[in-house]
Amino acid sequence: MTPVHIALAVLVTLIWGCNFVAIKLGLGDMPPLLFTALRFILAAAPFLPFYRSPGVGLKWVLGIGLFLGVGQFGLLFTAINLGMPAGLSSAVLQMQAFFTVGFAALMLHERPKPGQLLGMAVAFGGVLVIAGSMEINAVIPFLMVIGAAASWAISNVLTRQAKASDPMRLMVWVSLVPPLPMLALSWLLEGPDKMVHAVTHMSWVGFGSLAYIAFGATIVGYGLWSMLLKRYPAAMVAPFSLLVPLFGLSSGAIVLGERPGPQKLAGAALIILGVAVNSWMARRKTA
């Protein structure tokens, strides 16, 4: 990867790391399924007039939209709402990197070198160190985040297969898929009264969280991520997401007052080391 593309990959992980704080704040105003629907509506609506078609087959739009929107974020928002800590969620969700490599090997026949696997193993050790320092209060929310990670990985592979010429166009159209099923699920599971109250009594914090997640994490973050997946193998791009827990813990400390201890900091150091090893091996592979 070029230095510019490495910088863009790090920028995306910064945006996504802060995203967990925004989710936690937004859930103070909105139930999780409605929150998921609104973030994608807001992400798609302003840009749809500029993109009259997705530029790829409808099957890719539907597949990515369902796994990314309904699978990843529906499960993630619900898990955090049920008590899964934001910082721990940012760490556990990085299982997607390993799911992505596995799905890419099965579906795209992309085989990472042993050195890349070593880097990923070191980084995964960092994720485990961070996760081990946090108490898991419930098994179900934890499994939901694992499910969210698997859904994200499938959307990564589908995005690479779609080979969209314009990642922004693809992201706008993908954002049209989750709202209808999520609104239906919100109506059935959260109830119309909660939906109406959340929309009519949204605070500035809630609206700001929604705007950040919709425009920053969705349009900017996934637009850049899709561009990188189009240019490089999934096994090269996905490990950068292991920086997300570092930024998630940092933003949690600044905004939410969370104070990571030595074990969390050691885990973050392992993550950075693992990503550095993987990036170096990937550069050798493509040199």
pTM of the complete model: 0.81
Summarize pLDDT for 244-271 with one digit per residue, the tens: 888 887 888 888 777 767 777 787 778 7
Summarize pLDDT for 229-248 with one digit per residue, the tens: 778 876 678 778 778 888 88
Task: Give the torsion sign (CA, 159, 160, 164, 165).
Answer: positive
Q: Report the number of distinct structural domains present in the chain.
A: 1
User: Helices marked H in 133-243 — which ranges?
Assistant: 139-162, 167-174, 179-189, 192-200, 204-211, 222-231, 234-237
> Are 26 and 213 spatial neighbours (Cβ–Cβ below 8 Å)?
yes
Predicted confidence at residue 137, as pLDDT, reads 59
Q: Which domain holds residue 30?
A: 3-286
Mean pLDDT, each 10-residue run in order, the chain (287 residues): 88 91 92 94 86 87 93 93 83 77 78 76 80 69 87 89 81 91 95 92 91 86 82 76 82 79 76 72 56
CA distances from 272 to 193, 197, 235, 242, 267 (A): 45, 43, 16, 8, 9
Predicted confidence at residue 228, as pLDDT, reads 87
Summarize pLDDT for 214-233 with one digit per residue, the tens: 888 877 887 788 788 778 87
